[in-house]
């Protein structure tokens, strides 16, 4: 064996680098649109980006940590009301306000998570829902003026910021989306991410290797809540009007997010992104057509979720990687290379 025949351990393949460059280009395009003045398109980009982050976070919880939460709407609502409190209440700049709003929300995620983590599996899921309900009821019965005394309130936007609102929000959300996705990517490639996936795959085994499964999952839960609240707050900078039942609604937020990730592919970074974009495009098209009423759309959504979770467990991205094994945009695993031959061509699998 000569010294030039070295086995190399690589993270990325050429295809993934190309794909990542393409994504980078798309981000640049989005920024261009967002600094333009086509409000409709700005709105679309903002919505899609928010969905991408929400889906990515839910996937981080479910696909990578094994925490199936149907209570993320709690953090959507907390992000919304956090924004109101920070901006209307404390007078912070509406854009700056999203950060403390998200921070407060993720601090609250600690006791919420502590309670929820007493449960497992399906009961954990319902538990997160109950906790979201508790948060909703507490806010709804709150009599403080800032919060709107339970019937809803609006974000106060200063005159000077009114014209540029969509543009600034747009740029902000695109940047946040990139940060969120890249963070997840970097995180999963780190030692911590490895520990997380080990816990997901085989908790007993991971524990016996010294991984603190509880702590690992808890940290992920708090981080996911942070980003969820961050983009939720951003949503309400655009939408302005905050109502407790809408902000904490499971059908408006959690149901679509779950369906997006399931369709796109649970347990992959690419899946939620694809699912979010696809879902948005379909819903956008459908709402412009008259024959599809809201309940009908939701029925189809529900059925699709059931069908995918039984028959197409890997989602669309799973189908793609099955057809083109080794094709990954965001490599999380390491591969062994001999020169340019890639040995690990098993494709992704769960």
Regarding 72 and contact with another protein (CB under 8 A), the answer is: no
Choosing from 13, 30, 54, 66, the residue that interacts with another protein (CB under 8 A) is: 66
Choosing from 92, 104, 119, 240, the residue that interacts with another protein (CB under 8 A) is: 119
State the nearest-atom distance from the C-beta of 54 to another protein, in Å. Answer: 16
Choosing from 82, 127, 148, 272, the residue that interacts with another protein (CB under 8 A) is: 127
Regarding 258 and contact with another protein (CB under 8 A), the answer is: yes
Q: What is the 3-state secondary structure (H, E, C) of the chain?
A: CCCCCCEEEECCCHHHHHHHHHHHHHHHHHHHHHHCCCHHHHHHHHHHHHHHHHHHHHHHHHHHCCCCCCCCHHHHHHHHHHHHHHHHHCCCCCCCCHHHHHHHHHHHHHHHHHHHCCCCHHHHHHHHHHHHHHHHHHHHCCCCCCCCCCCCEECCCCHHHCCCHHHHHHHHHHHHHHHHHHHHHHHHHCHHHHHHHHHHHCHHHHHHCCCCHHHHHHHHHHHHHHHHHHHHHHHHHHHCEECHHHHCCHHHHHHHHHHHHHHHCCCCCHHHHHHHHHHHHHHHHHHHCCCCCHHHHHHHHHHHHHHHHHHCCCHHHHHHHHHCCCCCCCCCCCEEEECCEECCCCCCCC
Choosing from 51, 53, 305, 329, the residue that interacts with another protein (CB under 8 A) is: 305
Q: Which is nearer to another protein, 126 or 286 (CB)?
A: 126
State the nearest-atom distance from the C-beta of 142 to another protein, in Å. Answer: 11
| Contact range with another protein by CB under 8 A, out of 8-16, 33-41, 213-221, 288-296 | 288-296
Regarding 350 and contact with another protein (CB under 8 A), the answer is: yes
Regarding 70 and contact with another protein (CB under 8 A), the answer is: yes
State the nearest-atom distance from the C-beta of 273 to another protein, in Å. Answer: 18
What does the binding site for another protein look like in residue numbers (CB under 8 A)?
62-63, 66, 68, 70, 115, 118-123, 125-127, 129-131, 133-134, 137-138, 141, 250-251, 255, 258-259, 262, 266, 293, 295-296, 298-299, 301-306, 309-310, 313, 350
């Amino acid at each position: 064996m000569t010294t030039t025949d070295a086995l190399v351990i690589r993270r990325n393949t050429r295809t993934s680098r190309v794909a990542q460059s393409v994504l980078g280009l798309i981000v640049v395009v989005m920024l261009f649109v967002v600094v333009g003045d086509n409000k409709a398109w700005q709105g679309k980009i903002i919505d899609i980006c928010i969905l991408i982050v929400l889906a990515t976070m839910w996937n981080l919880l479910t696909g990578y940590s094994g925490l199936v939460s149907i209570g993320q709407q709690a953090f959507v609502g907390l992000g919304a009301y956090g924004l109101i409190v920070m901006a209307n209440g404390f007078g912070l700049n509406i854009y700056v306000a999203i950060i403390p709003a998200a921070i407060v929300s993720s601090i609250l995620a600690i006791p919420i998570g502590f309670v929820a983590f007493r449960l497992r599996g399906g009961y954990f899921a319902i538990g997160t829902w109950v906790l979201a309900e508790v948060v909703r009821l507490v806010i709804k019965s709150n009599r403080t003026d800032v919060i709107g005394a339970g019937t809803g309130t609006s974000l106060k936007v200063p005159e000077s910021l009114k014209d540029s609102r969509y543009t600034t929000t747009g740029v902000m959300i695109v940047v946040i989306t990139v940060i969120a996705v890249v963070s997840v990517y970097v995180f999963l490639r780190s030692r911590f991410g490895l520990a997380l996936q080990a816990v997901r795959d085989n908790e007993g085994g991971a524990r016996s290797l010294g991984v603190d499964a509880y702590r690992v999952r808890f940290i992920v839960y708090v981080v996911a809540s942070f980003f969820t609240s961050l983009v939720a707050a951003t949503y309400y900078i655009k939408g302005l009007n905050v109502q407790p039942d809408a902000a904490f609604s499971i059908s408006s937020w959690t149901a679509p997010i779950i369906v997006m990730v399931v369709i796109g592919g649970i347990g992959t970074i690419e899946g939620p992104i694809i699912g979010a974009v696809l879902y948005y495009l379909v819903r956008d098209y459908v709402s412009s057509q008259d024959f599809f009423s809201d309940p009908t759309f939701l029925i189809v959504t529900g059925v699709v979720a059931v069908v995918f979770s039984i028959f197409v467990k890997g989602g669309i991205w799973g189908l793609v990687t099955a057809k083109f094994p080794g094709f990954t945009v965001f490599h999380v695993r390491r591969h062994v290379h001999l020169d340019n031959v890639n040995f690990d061509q098993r494709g992704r699998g769960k």
